Structure 1
Amino acid sequence: MSGATPAASTPRHRAVNLAHLLTQTARRLPHRDAIVHGDVRWTWRELDRRVSALAAELLRRGLAPGDCVLLDGPNHPEFIQAMFAVWRAGGVLAPVNSRLHDADIKKIASVCRPVAMVAHASTTSHVAAVLSERDLPAGVLGLALEGTGAISGVADSEEAVADASVWAGDPAWYFFTSGTSGTPKAAVLTHDQLGYVVTNHLADLMPTTDETHSSLVVAPLSHGAGVHLLPQVARGATTVIPASPSLVPAEAWALVERERVSNIFTVPTIVKLLVEDPSVDEHDHSTLQYVVYAGAPMPSVDQQRARATLGDVLVQYYGLAEVTGNITVLPSRNHGRPSPAGVDFGTCGYPRTGMQVSIQDDDGAELAAGEAGEICVAGPGVFREYLDNPAANASAFRDGWFRTGDIGFVDDEGFLFITGRLSDMYISGGSNVHPRDIEEKMLAHPAVREAVVLGMPDPTWGEVGVAVCVLDPATTVDAEELRAWLAPRMARYKVPRDVVFWDELPRSGYGKVVRRTIRDELVARGWRPAAEKAPV
């Protein structure tokens, strides 16, 4: 019967364990390089053996199917080893950014309830924070360390450990959303959902990727870069990890030349740093085919400079943790596509293969092309749920659509334009203001390198715009000059009431500009509403 609910006797469907990506590649390409890190080169066979050895150790320590393992440390070959070992043993991975505060790690542990932890020496305080929250019956393993309890002390296994059986809907990754306040939310990513994501990344982002390619890691593997790693493993492309723990552009470009890197996953701020560094002109980067960026819109001026420097290799995708990057794609050939009249920023692309985007009003009705509303998504890239958080699940979905919390519109051809987040929009004197439009215009000023516009409370207007800018060191401009420059370029109510200048903008451990932190810092530095100022 059409539309009928499956009978209770419908058999469960097996899913493919993510560790099987490695199992297949190690069998097919045993002697090719899997990971390069400084002088270290692991082949696929060696990585596979190390993964089996660590999986066996986790099982010996009592890891049971569905148990969570917290993974906490910088990018390193053993980080990748731990990822696949947890999956091979049947566990659920919970990677965290090693730069988080102890209190954040403690909250994360309270949500995902790990039974074991893999941690680097730099995260000793994180281990203590977790242990103050709960016991770790399977213990702590050292990442990139020597001695008792270190991953390096777990011998290679000549005997393969079979990939644990998993079923459709079984969790593989607790992906903690970034930039939230209060108790963190863990998006439950399943083996079958991530299998779709891997396939989609290869189809839509990097279609030519194979074992002759290599990928440079310049963002934390605990987040989007870790997802980007999975297609590389599936196709046998080498993963190159810089030796430096933080971004060094000269090192990155030297590795691009030496390892003939074909793809990079990053965020717009890192693209900007890489492209503006003089070392970009000192090394051959002609092997690059895909510079994939996500996490935030890239300002038009930065896009143009990157394309002029690197060629047409930029690939943008839009997606949240909950949809694992699978909402839209903007291939290199579509960069520079004209925007509709009156729109000063570019598109983030068209819906990913197999995904559907719907622009909806407050009641869930779909809006026509050109009308702005909340971006909602459906398709196999959407996560299962938030872990043990029914309230968040209820607010995240409406009529089966995942609500992104972002505002945007589609044009007549289905290309999506993001105007901002619901939480970023502010209302000044009864008018809705979306900061992104103002920020794009500010970045067109030759003195402005970075700009963030926030709505701050005001007793007269409800909220007023405050712009925080970073200037090019070789130039100068004051607040009134910048406001005067903006005045003919936008409606009067959009011109920021205040403009302040900082040496740099605070960023998260993932390289993102965090508006909440900027708001707090503004207040800490003495910003207050100026009710006595005349209206703009």
Structure 2
Amino acid sequence: MVAYRTTVELLQQGKGNAAAIRATEGRAALTYDGLRALAAATVAALNARGIGRGDRVAMVLPNGPEMATAFVSVAAGATTAPLNPSYRGEEFEFYIDDLKAKALIVLKGNETPARGAAAKLGVPVIELVPDAAGGAGAFTLEGGPSGSAASPGMAGEDDVALVLHTSGTTARPKIVPLTQGNICASARHIGATLALTPADACLNIMPLFHIHGLIAAVLSSLGAGASVCCTPGFDALKFFRWMDEERPSWYTAVPTMHQTILTRAERNAEIIKRAPLRFIRSSSASLPGPVMKQLEDVFGVPLVESYGMTEASHQMCSNPLAGPRKPGLVGLPAGPEVAIMDDDGSIMAKGGIGEVVIRGPNVTKGYEANPEANAKAFTNGWFRTGDQGMFDEDGFLMLTGRLKELINRGGEKVSPLEVDGILSDHPAVAQALTFAIPHAKLGEEVGAAVVLRDGMELTERELRDFASKHLADFKVPRKVVFLPEIPKGATGKLMRIGLAEKLGLSL
């Protein structure tokens, strides 16, 4: 694979008339020649509005081909800042202001509250106008100021391509700047892990304001000269129709999406047979072992679980495509160096449990304007992920929990991931999420939110008895809440922190 280091170089990987961006609903594809021309035209249009390399452009666009092409095209000569379209006005105001955005791109005719937030802050609005005749994702830009960019032209390896906020839990969200070199390194790593070729096509169901969709689905595909078929977003009722019509070779998703797809797989067995995939990828949260096995059995292809985070431009580890794959483990280092560090900052030998640390070309150089966070995040050149884990005898990484999510029950540390895995093994359980419940004497107690399989029944006592056969007593959930659906964040990720408060639980 060519060692491209900028998005402009990345776009050179595809043959001119090959499909780069595809879309559902029968739209013609945008070729690589078309996408390269679009990127050049977009950078020129931004430069004419006084926007160049290093200038930040907030983007509020619905999922689909225009969001994919806008990300790639704007990043070619400026800094992209994709925002969740479902934010409310005050949230847009905070993020646009915090990013110091020089402009906001919105879809023409879309009355998003981001417009009002930008107006209040004095940030000019540029409208993206889809070009129906130009292929999936083709667009022009309208409006905005005129001016001369301080740093015009195409971005270099060290220019910041993408800025994202970390998902804040209690503290103010931190800004993560990712350079052209960072995001292209991650795209190369993913392409190599998945053995992507120009013959591949990814069906993207991930939101494109999220690192998972942007890098794993879009950039890794384009970097391999392959195509990405953009959907309006995840829709369980349309997923199998899209598979049948678009014939992708793979898709990537978070575990909650995979589990929803499984519930509809049996009635779509004929489509799975006539539209076979090459593999399936899962990332952004831990995939329960039974779900991994079910997906492999139902689709008849490997399920590749990967481990990623925003600060690493997504991918850090991955189970190998050709095997062996270990359910419940996030795989081998797949790009950056990965190690385990003890509390004193020393790298531990294989088998030791400590904090997962990384370093490499895809890792951010540091949070923006946050020396305190950077001092905590970096030790001896290693970035501290905040995850606890260990390497097994084969070099596979096993995560034992987020350090801030570990449940401290009277001094006993409980890994939510371990308890999740045991509860998920019960045949009546479709989903399980273990979380901390405030406790007057112990500080925290173990709780679990559980979704049952359709038509199955299970009592709290029965599930606790099942767990007690596999877990030490202090790890067995003292409270089990059965829910029709476990609360999720904007990207579909199950949220542990604050769940007890959301459910009104205390012990």
Same-fold call, TM cutoff 0.5: yes
Contact between 2:355 and 2:386, CA under 8 Å: does it hold in 1?
yes
Partner Cα distance (2:472, 2:129) in 1:
54
Q: Distance between the aligned counterparts of 1:203 and 1:217, measured in 2? A: 19
Partner of 1:7: none
- Corresponding position of 1:367: 348
Shift of 1:305: 0.4
Structure 2: how far apart are the matches of 1:254 and 1:178? 33
The CA deviation string for residues 255-291 of structure 1, in whole angstroms up to 9 with x for no partner, is: 3233221121211111221222145413045541231
Tell me what 2:410 maps to: 429
C-alpha separation in 2, matches of 1:335 and 1:514:
30
* Structure 2: distance between partners of 1:232 and 1:336: 23
Deviations 1:394-424 (A, max 9, x none): 1111111100000001112211100110011
Q: Distance in 1 between matches of 2:486 and 2:222?
A: 35
Residue 127 of structure 2, aligned match among 141, 149, 160: 141
Match for residue 48 of structure 2 among 54, 60, 73: 60
Mark the CA change 1:69 to 1:279 in structure 2 (over 3 Å): closer, same or farther. Answer: farther
Distance between the aligned counterparts of 1:397 and 1:520, measured in 2?
Answer: 32
CA shift for structure 1 position 334: 3.2
Which residue number corresponds to residue 376 of structure 2?
Answer: 395
1:102 aligns with 2:80: no
Distance in 1 between residues matched to 2:314 and 2:243, nearest whole Å? 24
Give distance in 1, aligned partners of 2:350 and 2:490: 36
Correspondence 1:289 to 2:265: no
1:151 & 1:311 partners in 2: Cα distance? 36
Distance 1:112 1:494, change over 3 A: same
Whichever residue aligns with residue 304 of structure 2, its letter is V
State the shift of 1:40 in Å: 1.7
**For residues 433-453 of structure 1, what are the alpha-carbon distances to aligned partners after superposition, in whole Å with 9 as ceiling and x for unaligned?**
111111111111222211111
What does residue 444 of structure 2 align with? 463
- Of residues 371, 382, 404, the one that matches 2:385 is 404
Letter paired with 1:227: I
Alignment correspondent of 2:146: none
* Aligned residues of 1:314 and 1:331 also touching (Cα < 8 A): no
Percent of aligned pairs sharing the same letter: 28
Q: Does the residue aligned with 2:284 lie in a helix, a strand or coil?
A: coil
TM-score by length of 2: 0.89
Q: Distance in 1 between matches of 2:43 and 2:322?
A: 43
1:73 corresponding residue in structure 2: 61
Q: For residue 40 of structure 1, give the secondary structure of its aligned residue in structure 2.
A: coil
Q: 1:333 to 1:65 in 2, by over 3 A?
A: closer
- In 2 relative to 1, CA 279–233 (structure 1 residues): closer, same or farther, beyond 3 Å? farther
Structure 2 vs 1, CA of residues 334 and 58 (structure 1 numbering), >3 Å: closer, same or farther? Answer: same
Aligned: 1:252 with 2:239: yes
**Residues in 2 aligned to 1:122 and 1:434: alpha-carbon distance in whole angstroms:** 44
In structure 2, which of residues 450, 461, 465 is the aligned counterpart of residue 480 of structure 1?
461
Deviations 1:201-256 (A, max 9, x none): 1112x21x2322211011012221111211211232222123xx342335322332
Contact 2:52-2:153 within 8 A present in 1 as well: no
State the structure with more CA Rg: 1
Q: How many residues align?
A: 486
Q: 2:338 aligns with which of 332, 357, 363?
A: 357
Any gaps of 5 or more consecutive residues in structure 2? 143-150
- 2:90 and 2:425 mapped to 1: Cα distance? 39
- CA distance in structure 2 between the partners assigned to 1:445 and 1:419 by the alignment: 20
Contact 1:293 1:315 in 2 (8 A): yes
Structure 1 segment 134-533 matched on structure 2, within 5 A? 134-137=121-124, 139-142=125-128, 152=139, 154=141, 164-178=153-167, 180-204=169-193, 206-207=194-195, 209-223=196-210, 224-228=212-216, 229-242=218-231, 245-277=232-264, 278-284=266-272, 287-334=276-323, 336-337=325-326, 346-353=328-335, 355-523=336-504, 527-529=505-507
